[in-house]
């Protein structure tokens, strides 16, 4: 016949309760630490990943537009610097030369 020892039974209940209290304290400490970290990060004005990616995409688009405009400017400048052929005489100028009296 086994006898139950009251001391061991009480000690077992005490340990079980202590584990429950420790788990509750752990959860409370995690919650407090997370809220403290959130407040600290908010005070530092850090950006979120989504905001960073959006600004990065805008910068990339602006860079591509800038490169396209630079290429267009270079093409226009090179076309402007090429020597032009002699301007053609207009119809009015041709008619004046044709009407000159011959002497």
pLDDT digits (tens, 9 = 90+) for 75-101: 999 998 887 666 666 656 556 555 555
- pLDDT for the residue 1: 47
pLDDT (0 to 100) of residue 90? 61
From residue 20, alpha-carbon distances to 27, 51, 54, 55, 79 in Å are: 11, 41, 46, 47, 83
> Which pTM does this prediction carry?
0.42
Which carries the bigger pLDDT value, residue 3 or residue 55? Answer: 55
The model's pLDDT over 19-76, given as tens digits with 9 standing for 90+, comes to 999 999 999 999 999 999 989 988 888 888 999 999 999 999 999 999 999 999 999 9
Distances (CA, A) of 103 to 43, 49, 94, 95: 96, 89, 19, 18
């Amino acid at each position: 016949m086994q006898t139950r020892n009251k001391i061991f039974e009480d000690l077992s209940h005490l340990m079980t309760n202590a584990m429950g209290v420790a788990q509750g304290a752990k959860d409370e400490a995690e919650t407090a630490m997370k809220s403290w970290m959130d407040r600290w990060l908010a005070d530092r004005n850090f950006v979120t990943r989504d905001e960073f990616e959006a600004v990065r995409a805008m910068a990339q688009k602006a860079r591509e537009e800038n490169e396209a405009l630079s290429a267009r400017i270079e093409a226009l400048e090179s076309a402007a610097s090429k020597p032009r052929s002699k301007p053609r005489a207009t119809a009015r100028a041709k008619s004046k030369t044709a009407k000159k009296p011959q002497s």
